[in-house]
Chains A and B, each alone.
Chain A
Amino acid sequence: MFTKKNTLNERSNMSGKKSAGLSGIKYILIFGLSCMTGNTFASVSIQHWQAPSGAQVYFVENHDLPMLDVEVDFAAGNGFDDIVKPGVAALTNSLLDSGVDGLSEDDISRKLADIGAQKAEHVDADRSGMSIRTLSSTAELEVALDIMSRILQHPLFPEDVLTREKTRTIAALKEAETKPESIASKAFNKAVFGSHPYGKSLEVADVEKIQKTDLENFYHAHYNSKGAVVALMGDVTRAKAESIAQQLTGSLQTNEANIHIAPVTLEIKATELRIPHPATQAHVLIGTPGIARNDPDYFPLYVGNYVLGGGGFVSRLMNEIREKRGLAYSVYSYFMPMQQPGAFQIGLQTKKEQADEAIKLARATLREFVDKGISEKELKAAKDNIVGGFPLRIDSNKKILDYLSLIGFYGLPLNYLDEFTDKVNAVTTSQVHDAFKRRIHPDAMATVIVGAPEEKMQAK
C-alpha cells in the first residue's frame, strides 16, 4: 500500500547488477564516533550458540522496532542437485510452503497475511532457505513462528501443487530462453564452469522428470538440523531467541548431510560465444572462475574490483565505456564469492553495432588493470568509500539479518565483521596487483555476446 509501482528512470540501475562488488559482504563494527551519539546500530553485537537441535544460531537483540526477522538456511542450493536430476533443489525450496499437516498452501498464506507477516523463500547455488518478518507482539509472533516451524519441518510437497508448479516453471524457462540477459547468463555459466554444478542450467526436460519422491528425498538428505543456520534480528530476548531457534529446527532430521560442493576448475580457455538475437542491444558477459568466500585474496580483490568496475560511477570501466564515450548505460565488474570459487564477471549492454568496440575497450581496460595495477590515489579512493560507507551496510534490521545468515552459513569468524574495515585499510597497491595477476588472466576468459552483430560473426 502506498508503494509506487511507477517506472523510475534512474541515472543508473545498479541495484540488480551486483555491481557494488562483492555483494554479500557483511560485517559489524564498533564506531567510536557514533557511539557517543547513542545510535543503536553504531555497535552491534552478535550472539552465537548451538541449539539443542544442533543448529547454529546467530542473534542480534534490538528493541527499537516492534518486529522480528528470522531466517533459516541449509546447504541445499542448486549446487547440491544430483547431476542427473537438476532442478530438484529449487523446486524443493519453492514447495516448502505448499502445504503442511493441517494447513493447505492457502491456509498458510492467508494466516500469515492476517497477522501482516511477510514470508520469502530463497535459493542460490549454495544456499536454500526461508525468512519471515513479523510484528513482535505475542499473538502475531506465535502464529508466524508456528507456521514457519511447520513449513520448515513438516512440508508435504502435495502432488497437485508439484504438477502445477512444474508447468509454471517450464513456462518461465521457455520465456527466459527468449530473453537476451537470460540467454547470456546461461551461456556464460556454462562457459566459465563447464560441467561443474555452478555451470548447470535448468532445461525443460529436467523439470518434466521431477517426481514427488525426488523432493522428499532431497529434503530428507539436506534439510537437517546439524547443517541449519538460524539468524534472528530484532525485538525478542535471548531466552526467547533460544526457544525460537529450537522450535524451528528441533524436529528436523539429525542425519549428517553432504555440505561440500565439488571443487571448481580455476583455469579455463579463452572462448567467445556469439549468439544471434533480434534485440537492439548486445548483452556482453566476460569472465572466469573467481574466488571462494574464505579466499585469502578476498580483500585485495574486493578493494581492487572497486577501482575496476565495482565503484558505481567512479570505476575505470564506467569511466572508459560510459562517461568518456557513452557506449553503455550499465557496465560493471564483480566477484561472486561462493563456497567454491564463483564467477568474476564483467557485464555491459550496448547497441549492437558498437558491441565489438565496447568489448575491445572492456578487455583493454581489464588488461591494463591486471598488467599495471592501481595507483595509490585509486587505492585511497576505494578505501575511503568502502570504509566511510561502512555504516550504511548495517543501518537496518534487514541488512543485519543478511549479514548474520552469511556469517553463519559460510562459517566466517564472529569477529570477521569487527575486523572488516581494518582488513580493507591494510590492503596495499602491490597486494591488489599481485592478487589480480595471479587470479585473473585476460588471455583466458570466457566471453558471451547475445545479439552479436551478425555481419561480424567471424574471428577477429
Chain B
Amino acid sequence: MRIQLIKKLCWLLLLLTYSVQAEVFEKTLANGLKVIVKEDHRAPVLVQQVWYRAGSMDERTGTTGVAHVLEHMMFKGTKAVPAGEFSKKIAAAGGRENAFTNYDYTAYFQQLHTSKLPLAMKLESDRMQYLQLTTAEFIKEIKVVMEERRMRTDDEPHALLEEKLMAAAYQEHPYQHPVIGWMNDIEAMTALDAQEWYKTWYAPNNAVLVIAGDVQAKEVFAMAQLYYGKIPAHKLPVRRNFSEPAQEGIKRITVKAPAQLPYLIMSYHAPTVRDAEKDSMPYALEILAGILDGNESARLNKTLVREQQIASEVGAGYDSTARGPSMFTLEGTPSEGKTITELEAALREQLTKLVREGVTPEELQRVKAQVTANEVYKRDSVFYQAMQIGQMESIGLTHKAIPVMLRKIQEVTTQQVQDAAKAIFNDDHLIVAVLDPQPLSDKPKHAGGPIHVH
C-alpha cells in the first residue's frame, strides 16, 4: 500500500517536473544579462525580479553592510526618475515592490497586473545604469538602516545570538559578517562607499532578470532587449574563492541579552550543493532535517517537546544551496526547570541514535512525500517560483538544477542519510551558542508603575 503510494507520487513528481520545466525559457542578451521567463497563466499578474550576483559576502572588512545600504539607495532616484518617484509610479500602477539583500545576492522586485511589464522594465533598467547617489539622500537613508539594524538585531536576542554564532563559526569566509553590517561600519559609511559598490557590481553581465506570470516568453525577451539591451556590460572584479579552514575542535560562545528564557543553537559545518548531479550528501542532509523536524511528530518535537518535555520549542534546519558553505543547525528553548546543558545532552542523544541506528524507510518516505506535495503547492505562488529560479541562478547552480535536485532527493537512501549523519555530527566541526537571559533591569518590572500623562 505504502509502496504503491510512493510510486504514484514519484510518477506525479516526474510529470510535474516536465510540465514545470516546459514553461521555463531563457535567453542571454548580448550584454550578458540572463533573462528567464516562467509562464504561468492562472492570473493576470506578473512579477519582475532582478537579481544581482553581489551580496554581503562580496564586501570587505570596514564596509560591511554596503550591499544592503546600496539596496536602500536604489530607491533614491536617477536623472529621469527622481527620489521617491520609483515607488510612486509602481504604486500608481497598482503594484507592490520591495527589495532584499542576502549573503549571496541582492534582488529587486515588482508585482503588477500583466499589462504593466513595460513600466516595470523601464524603471528597473533605468536604475541599473543611472542611479544618482547624493550625499543628502544618503545621510537620511543611512539613519533608516541603523534603525533597521536596531530593530532586527540589536533588540532581538535570538537574532543577536545568530549574528555572534556566524561571527564565531567562520574564520575566513565572509559569512562571518552580518548581511546588515556591523553598526560601526554602517556609522562610518559614506555615499562614496555605496557609489563604489554600485559601479563595481551593478551591470547586466552580473544580473539575472526573472519574469514569472501571465506573459509570453517571446514578448518578454523582445521587451527585455528593448529596455535592458543597450546597457553596457563592464568588467567584473575577479571573485575571491574562500576555503574555510577546518575548525579542529568544538567552539562555545555565550551571549547575554535581556530576555526571559535561555536559548541554545548547535551548528555543525556542512557542505552545499556544488554539482547538482554528482553530489549526494547535501540531499541526504535535506532529508535528515526533514526527519528531525519536518512535521510535528518528527523526531525532535516528538521526543524532546512531547515525550521528555525537556524543550518547549525545538528545531532543525539545513540549507543545501548557497554560494558558500552551510551549517546543519539544531536549536531550542529548554522547558521551565530544565537547563541548557540538559537540552544539549538530549539533542546529542538524538544525534547519537541517528548515527548508530540510522533512519527508518517510513521516515525517509514521509519526507519524500512532503517534498513531492510541496512541489505542487509551490505552483500556487508565482512569486515563490520566481524566487526559487532567482536564488538558484544567483548562487551559480542555474534553474536547470531544480528538477535535478528534486530527483536526487527522491533517490536518497536510508544508508546515505545515516552516512551523512556520521560525517556531519562531529564535535570538531560544532559550534554551540547559548543565550544567557538577563533581567530587564535591576528594578522589579514596571517598578513604580508606568507614568500616565496628558
State whether A5 touches B44 (Cβ < 8 A): no
Q: Name the B residues within 8 Å of A180 (CB-CB).
A: 155
Q: List 29 A-B contacts (CB under 8 A).
A: A2-B320, A4-B319, A4-B391, A7-B162, A8-B102, A39-B41, A39-B43, A64-B42, A67-B377, A105-B296, A105-B297, A105-B306, A114-B366, A135-B376, A168-B313, A278-B440, A280-B154, A281-B150, A312-B87, A314-B87, A319-B84, A326-B141, A351-B146, A351-B150, A388-B93, A388-B113, A391-B113, A395-B42, A457-B451
> Contact check: which of A40, A178, A387, A395 meets B440 at CB < 8 Å?
A178
Contact call B143/A327, Cβ cutoff below 8 A: yes
- Tell me if B200 is interfacial: C-beta within 8 Å of chain A: no
Q: Counting CB contacts under 8 A, is A220 at the interface?
A: no
What is the bound-complex CA distance between A4 and B152, given in angstroms? 18
Pair B148/A9 contact, Cβ less than 8 Å: yes
Q: Name the A residues within 8 Å of B377 (CB-CB).
A: 67, 118, 133
Our pick among A65, A270, A387 for the contact of B94 (Cβ within 8 Å) is A387
Judge whether B45 and A391 touch: CB under 8 Å.
yes
Q: Which residue of B lies closest to A173 (CB)?
A: B260
**Contacting residue for A110 out of B41, B94, B180, B366, CB 8 A:** B366
Interchain CB contact under 8 A, A395 and B45 = yes
A135 to B12, CA, bound (A): 11
Residues A34 and B114 in contact, CB atoms below 8 Å apart: yes
Q: Determine how close the nearest CB of chain A comes to the CB of B417; give it in whole angstroms.
A: 14
Contact of B295 among A2, A10, A110, A394 (CB under 8 A): A110
A177 to chain B: which residues have CB within 8 Å? 260, 445
- Whether A170 contacts B336 in the complex (CB less than 8 A), given A1-B371, A5-B317, A178-B260, comes out as yes
Contact status B45-A109, CB under 8 Å: no
Asked whether, in the complex, the Cβ of B319 is within 8 Å of the Cβ of A5, the reply is yes
Any B CB within 8 A of the CB of A116: yes
For A, the interface residue count at a CB cutoff of 8 angstroms equals: 104
B286 touches A11 (CB 8 A): no
Hey, what's the 0/1 contact readout for B431-452 against A, CB within 8 Å counting as 1?
A: 0000001001100011100111
Judging by beta carbons under 8 Å apart, are A40 and B75 in contact?
no
Question: With A271-B454, A313-B75, A381-B88 as given contacts, are A39 and B260 in contact (CB-CB < 8 Å)?
Answer: no
**What 0/1 pattern do residues 300 to 314 of B give for CB contact below 8 A with A?**
001001100100110
In the complex formed, the residue of A with least CB distance to B287 is A1
Decide: A42 near B43, CB < 8 A? Known: A106-B306, A389-B96, A459-B453. Answer: yes
For the A-B complex with A118-B377, A180-B155, A386-B94 known, give 8 more contacts whose Cβ atoms are closer than 8 Å. Answer: A2-B286, A31-B44, A66-B376, A116-B374, A276-B440, A278-B441, A281-B147, A396-B42
**Interchain CB contact under 8 A, A311 and B91:** yes
Report the minimum CB–CB distance from A187 to chain B (whole Å): 8
B5 nearest CB neighbor, chain A only: A139
Enumerate A303-330 residues with CB–CB distance to B below 8 Å.
Answer: 311-314, 319, 322-330
B43 touches A396 (CB 8 A): yes
Q: Across the interface, do B101 and A9 meet the contact criterion of CB distance under 8 Å?
A: yes
Which residues 107-155 of A have a CB within 8 angstroms of B? 107-110, 112-118, 133-135, 137, 139-140
**How far is A91 from B71 in the complex, measured between Cα atoms in Å?**
43
> Which residue of A114, A171, A274 contacts B336 across the interface (Cβ within 8 Å)?
A171
How far apart are A280's CB and chain B's nearest CB, in angstroms?
5
Q: Which residues of the partner chain B approach A410 to less than 8 Å between Cβ atoms?
A: none
Q: Is A200 an interface residue (CB 8 A)?
A: no
Query: Which positions in A face B, CB cutoff 8 Å?
Result: 1-2, 4-12, 14, 31, 33-34, 37-42, 64-67, 105-110, 112-118, 133-135, 137, 139-140, 164, 167-168, 170-172, 174-175, 177-178, 180, 187, 270-281, 311-314, 319, 322-330, 349-351, 381, 384-392, 394-398, 457-460
Give chain A residues whose Cβ lies under 8 Å from the Cβ of B396. Answer: none
Query: Which one of B23-31, B189-197, B232-240, B378-386 is at the A interface?
Result: B378-386
- Contact of B179 with A9 in the complex, beta carbons under 8 Å: yes
Structural contact, B440 and A396, CB atoms closer than 8 A: no
List B375-426 residues whose CB lies under 8 Å from chain A. Answer: 376-377, 379-382, 388, 391, 402, 405, 409
Chain B residues with Cβ below 8 Å from A281 are: 147, 150-151, 154-155
Complex partner residue of B312 from A5, A168, A273, A385, CB under 8 angstroms: A168
A109 close to B297 (CB less than 8 A): yes
How many angstroms from the CA of A275 to the CA of B443 in the assembled complex?
13
**Do B87 and A9 touch across chains, with their CB atoms under 8 A apart?**
no
The tally of residues in B whose CB lies under 8 Å from a CB in A reads 112
User: Could you tell me if A8 and B100 are in contact, using CB atoms closer than 8 angstroms?
Assistant: yes
Separation in Å of the A180 CB from the closest CB of chain B?
Answer: 7
Interface of A is mostly: mixed
Are A395 and B102 closer than 8 Å at their CB atoms? no
Expressed in whole angstroms, the minimum distance between the Cβ of A142 and any Cβ of chain B is 12
| Of the residues B8, B148, B319, B370, contact of A329 by C-beta under 8 Å | B148
Q: Ordered nearest first, which 3 A-B pairs have the shortest CB separation? A: A388-B94, A116-B373, A326-B143
Q: Assess whether B98 is interfacial by the CB under 8 Å rule.
A: yes
- Chain A residues, CB < 8 A from B319: 4-6
Q: How far is the CA of A280 from the CA of B147 in the complex (A)?
A: 9
Known contacts A280-B155, A281-B147; decide if A10 and B98 are in contact (CB<8 Å).
Answer: yes
* B174 interface contact, C-beta 8 A: no
Give the Cβ gap from A162 to chain B, nearest Cβ, in Å: 13
CB-based contact B321/A314 at 8 Å? no
CB-based contact B99/A10 at 8 Å: yes
Chain B residue, CB-CB nearest to A447: B454
Give per-residue flags for B140-163: 1 if the beta carbon is below 8 A from chain A beta carbons, else 0.
111111111011101100010010
Task: Check B115 for interface membership: any CB of A closer than 8 A.
Answer: yes
> Does any Cβ of A come within 8 Å of B220's Cβ?
no
Does B214 touch A at the CB level, under 8 Å? yes
Q: Find out whether the CB atom of A167 lies under 8 angstroms from the CB atom of B380.
A: no
0 or 1 for each of B325-352: is its CB under 8 Å from A? (1 = yes): 0000000010110000000000000000
Q: How far is the CB of A28 from chain B (nearest CB, A)?
A: 12
Interface residues of B in 66-89 (CB under 8 A from A): 68, 71-72, 75, 84, 87-88
Q: Are the CB atoms of B140 and A116 closer together than 8 Å?
A: no
Chain A residues in 8 Å Cβ range of B294: 113
Residue of B96, B155, B180, B366 with highest tally of chain A CB at under 10 A: B155
Please state if A275 and B93 are interface contacts (CB–CB under 8 Å): no
The answer to whether B222 has its CB under 8 Å from any CB of chain A is no
Q: Least Cβ distance of B411 to chain A in Å? A: 14
List chain B residues, Cβ under 8 A from A187.
Answer: 450
Q: At the interface, yes or no: B167 with Cβ under 8 Å from chain A?
A: no
- The answer to whether A171 and B102 have CB atoms under 8 Å apart is no
**Distance in angstroms between the alpha carbons of A396 and B378 in the assembled complex:** 11
Task: Name B140's contact: one of A67, A112, A171, A323 (CB within 8 Å).
Answer: A323
Which A residues are in CB contact (< 8 Å) with B152? 7, 9
Cβ contact within 8 Å between A174 and B44: no
Whether A279 touches B453, Cβ cut-off 8 Å, given contacts A6-B102, A39-B214, A112-B295, is no
Q: A168: which B residues are within 8 A, CB to CB?
A: 305, 312-313, 335
Q: Enumerate chain B residues within 8 angstroms of A328, measured Cβ to Cβ.
A: 144, 147
Residues of A within 8 A of B382 (CB): 395-396
Cross-chain contact A11 with B99 (CB below 8 angstroms): yes
Contact, CB under 8 Å: B335 / A384: no
List the A residue with the shortest CB-CB distance to B147.
Answer: A329
Cα separation A116 to B366 with both chains bound (whole Å)? 8
- Could you tell me the distance between the alpha carbons of A67 and B8 in the complex, rounded to whole angstroms? 15
